[in-house]
Amino acid sequence: MKILVIGSGGREHALVWKLAQSSHVAQMWCAPGNAGIAQERLAKNGAAVECVNIAAEELPKLLAFAQEKRADLTVVGPDNPLALGIVDLFQQHGLKIWGVNQKAAQFESSKFFSQSFMEKYGIPTARAFTVTSDEFPHWENSRRADQREFNLFLLANNKCVVKADGLALGKGVLICNGRSEIYSAMLEMFSGRKFGDAGKKVVLQEYLEGVEVSLHALCDGTTAKIFPTAQDHKRAFDGDLGLNTGGMGTYSPTPFLTDVQLAEIAKKILEPFMRGCTEEGIDYRGILYPGVMLTKDGPKVLEFNARFGDPETQVYLTRLENDLVELLDASVDGTLDKMELKWSPLASVCVVMASGGYPGNYAKGKIISGLDVANALPQTKVFHAGTARAGDQIVTNGGRVLGVTALGKDLKTAQAAAYAAVEYIQFEGVHYRRDIAAKAFAASGNPT
- Checking if the pLDDT of 291 tops 50, the result is yes
CA–CA dist 152, 155 (Å, integer)? 5
The helix/strand/coil state of 49 is: coil
Q: Which stretch of 23-32, 159-168, 379-388, 421-430 has the lowest confidence by average pLDDT?
A: 159-168
Please give the residue that has the higher pLDDT: either 20 or 127.
20
The helix/strand/coil state of 57 is: coil
Q: Which of 126, 293, 123, 303 is nearest to 206 (CA)?
A: 126
Q: Which stretch of 262-266, 317-321, 433-437 has the lowest confidence by average pLDDT?
A: 262-266
CB contact at 8 A, 79 and 108: yes
Sign of CA dihedral 123, 260, 337, 19: positive
Residue 24 is inside which H or E element, if any?
Answer: none
- Confidence at residue 121, expressed as pLDDT on a 0 to 100 scale: 97
Residue 398 is classified by DSSP as S
Residues whose CB falls within 8 Å of the CB of residue 246, separated by 6 or more in sequence, listed in order: 169, 170, 171, 310, 359, 399, 400
- Confidence at residue 156, expressed as pLDDT on a 0 to 100 scale: 62
Residue 47 is inside which H or E element, if any?
Answer: none
Evaluate the omega torsion of the peptide bond into residue 60 and state whether it is cis, within 30 degrees of 0: no
- Checking if the pLDDT of 447 tops 50, the result is no
Please give the residue that has the higher pLDDT: either 141 or 391.
391
Distance of alpha carbon 352 from the chain centroid: 14
CA–CA dist 56, 58 (Å, integer)? 6
Mean pLDDT (whole number) for 381-396: 98
Q: Which of 413, 403, 418, 438 is nearest to 311 (CA)?
A: 403
Model confidence over 429-442: pLDDT tens digits? 999 999 999 999 98
Residues whose CB falls within 8 Å of the CB of residue 56, separated by 6 or more in sequence, listed in order: 6, 7, 8, 31, 32, 62, 77, 78, 80, 81
Output the average pLDDT for the chain.
92
Evaluate the omega torsion of the peptide bond into residue 81 and state whether it is cis, within 30 degrees of 0: no
Q: Which residues pair with 2 in a beta bridge?
A: 27
CA–CA dist 348, 120 (Å, integer)? 37
Q: Where are the beta strands (DSSP E) in 245-297?
A: 249-252, 285-295
Q: Which stretch of 22-31, 85-94, 159-168 has the lowest confidence by average pLDDT?
A: 159-168
Q: Note the helical H segments in 93-137.
A: 102-109, 111-120
CA–CA dist 217, 26 (Å, integer)? 28
Mean pLDDT (whole number) for 49-57: 99
- Confidence at residue 192, expressed as pLDDT on a 0 to 100 scale: 58
Mean pLDDT (whole number) for 54-65: 99
- Confidence at residue 195, expressed as pLDDT on a 0 to 100 scale: 57
- Checking if the pLDDT of 46 tops 80, the result is yes
Mean pLDDT (whole number) for 240-246: 92
Q: Which of 173, 172, 194, 184 is nearest to 136 (CA)?
A: 184
- Confidence at residue 444, expressed as pLDDT on a 0 to 100 scale: 64
Mean pLDDT (whole number) for 19-24: 99
- Confidence at residue 147, expressed as pLDDT on a 0 to 100 scale: 66
Question: Taking the domains of the chain in order of start, what are their residue ranges?
Answer: 2-101, 127-206, 211-444
Please give the residue that has the higher pLDDT: either 49 or 177.
49
Mean pLDDT (whole number) for 114-140: 84
- Checking if the pLDDT of 194 tops 70, the result is no
Instruction: Tell me whether domains 127-206 and 211-444 share a fold.
Output: no
- Confidence at residue 326, expressed as pLDDT on a 0 to 100 scale: 99
What is the CATH code for 127-206? 3.30.1490.20
- Confidence at residue 177, expressed as pLDDT on a 0 to 100 scale: 86
- Confidence at residue 142, expressed as pLDDT on a 0 to 100 scale: 64
Q: Return the CATH fold of 2-101.
A: Rossmann fold (3.40.50)
Mean pLDDT (whole number) for 350-378: 98
Residue 136 is classified by DSSP as G
Quickly state the pLDDT bin for 130 (edges 50, 70, 90). confident
Q: Which of 139, 140, 196, 137 is nearest to 164 (CA)?
A: 196
Cα angle vertex 408, ends 403, 410, to 5°? 115
Half-sphere exposure of 80 (CA within 13 A, CB side): 14
Mean pLDDT (whole number) for 289-299: 93
Half-sphere exposure of 216 (CA within 13 A, CB side): 24
Counts for the chain of helices (H) and strands (E), in that order: 15, 23
State the CATH architecture for 211-444.
2-Layer Sandwich (3.30)
- Confidence at residue 448, expressed as pLDDT on a 0 to 100 scale: 41
Q: Which stretch of 24-28, 241-245, 260-264 has the lowest confidence by average pLDDT?
A: 260-264
